[in-house]
Amino acid sequence: MRIGTTVKPKGEDEYDVDLVCELKADPSDFPNPIDLLDMVEERLRANQTYDGKIERKNRCIRINYANEFHMDILPACPSPSNFDFHGEHCLKVPDCTLEDWKDSNPKGYAKWFEGKARDATVEFRKSIEALPEQQAYEDLATLPRVVQLMKRNRDVILEDLDAKDRPISIVLTTLAAHYYNGSPSVIDALEYIVFNIRLHTVGTQRIKVLNPTNKEEDFSERWANDAKLYDTFVGWVDNLASSLEALRKTQGLPEIAAQLKVMFGENVTNFVVEDHLKRLTDLRKTGSVATTASGIIVLTETPKSNPIPYNTFHGNE
Amino acid sequence: MSKHFKNKKLALGEQIQKMRSCYPHFVFKLIKRQDVVWIGQIRPSPLSIEYRVRIEHFLGTGPKVTILSPSLRIPDGLKRLPHIYSIDRLCLYTPGKGEWHDGLYIASTIVPWTQLWLLYYEGWLITRKWHGDGTEPTINNSNEPKKKDTFN
């Protein structure tokens, strides 16, 4: 959530909110890490609010708000000796399958991602113009948008698969940030990232997507156990690359929209077109729309533009 | 423009001159020294294709705009084009509202309005809804004279 890459779930999928519950406790106080999960679960079950909503998972307690969203609560302890290169405390989380602690570092990951989004963009822009070093993260939102588009395309294209069989978000997010070239253009950045992922997936050997803040952790570990999941990922990347190529070759607004509907869904494509045109209509009503010599519709404050007087389209709607 | 001159009728030569300076790629043809027809391309948005349009300005009537190519389409399940008179003639302004009069340049009104119409038309093809506002019809289609192409 912090890195701004959340996508609205499609169809029957639910929002998935992860909440890391960092406890001021020493992991060594819990010889059996599962005790920590038990304690949190017990405490939640004592509260009637969560009656019938609690579900035990491998590393978390899940609260199910039926048909809306579920929240995964991950109890975690700060690792007393382990700091990452950002100076963030690494965390230790109990893992039922391993029956042991597992390293985790959500804050460090967020910092790594934000750094990639910022540094690459600054470098890219410096190559074309002088740019102040300081820039708000929101102004550098290209990478989060690209990640959202990749996740959205995954959910649309692999709609018929269970959510758990699709490439997982942390893998897509990490790959996108890793290959991001800093382009401020969302479409250019998306093409560049997908092209590079594809370059590395053409071989027979599977790629490994490691946690950038903890190289011991393989985000893509499930590919090692299930080759089908990796095939799904490679097929999805190929498909996205082909779709982007087709999009580049497409001419005409309705034709481009048709391609976007295939890639990202009909409703969201229509929403964007509607939103744009409704805004244009509102601006026309306030006399804020003009045209340039080359025939592009702009705002009246654009130099050398000619205002367009308001007109009421007549006839049948 | 001051209010005093608001309704001062522009001469045909002034309209032609303004069109030539704003839209040099439009070609025109004078008919009987009182009427004029322009034909040229309009691209509603940078991502859009170009449409070939024909603008008629005949003595005593409002300018008429038709789309020559490509043919206007109607998506499956919809019956008719929005904001259009017969034979692909666009309804760009509402008569009686003073939006159009002979004191206005076609280049500053009719042409950008055509561009906006085409943009909303493309939006209509995509979303099946017209997002450009407008009024209900008051003109009976059958009263529209079917002008034959004098310049195409």
CA B146 centroid distance within chain: 16
CA atoms of A65 and A2, how far apart (whole Å):
22
- Residue A101: closest CA among A25, A18, A1: A25
Would you place residue A5 in the very low, low, confident or very high pLDDT band (cuts 50, 70, 90)? confident
Residue B73 has pLDDT above 50, yes or no: yes
DSSP B25: T
pTM of the model: 0.82
Q: For residue B86, give the chain A residue with the closest CA.
A: A315
Q: What is the pLDDT of residues A250-288, one digit of tens each?
A: 999 999 999 999 999 999 999 999 999 999 999 999 999
Position B117 scores a pLDDT of: 96
ipTM of the complex as predicted? 0.82
Q: What is the pLDDT of residues B138-149, one digit of tens each?
A: 444 443 444 433
CA atoms of B51 and B41, how far apart (whole Å):
5
Position B108 scores a pLDDT of: 95
Q: What is the pLDDT of residues A158-199, one digit of tens each?
A: 999 998 899 999 999 999 999 999 888 899 999 999 999 999
Contacts of B115 in chain A (CB under 8 A): 291, 295, 297
CA atoms of A104 and A87, how far apart (whole Å):
14
Mark yes or no for CB contact B49/A251 under 8 Å: yes
Residue A11 in contact with partner chain B when CB distance is under 8 A: no
SS (H, E, C) chain A: CCCCCCCCCCCCCCEEEEEEEECCCCHHHCCCCHHHHHHHHHHHHCCHHHCCCEEECCCCEEEEECCCEEEEEEEEEEEEEEECCCCCEEEEEEECCCCEEEEECHHHHHHHHHHHHHHHHHHHHHCCCCCCCCCCHHHHCHHHHHHHHHHHHHHHHCCCCCHHHCCCHHHHHHHHHHHCCCCCCHHHHHHHHHHHHHHHHCCCCCCCCEECCEEEEECCHHHHHCHHHHHHHHHHHHHHHHHHHHHHHCCCHHHHHHHHHHHHCHHHHHHHHHHHHHHHHHHHHCCCEEECCCCCEEECCCCCCEECCCCCCCCCC
Looking at mean pLDDT, say which of A27-41, A220-234, B83-97 comes out highest: A220-234
What is the length of chain A? 317
- Residues A3-30 have a mean pLDDT of 81
Q: How near does any CA of chain B get to the CA of A121, in Å?
A: 26
Mark yes or no for CB contact B132/A313 under 8 Å: yes
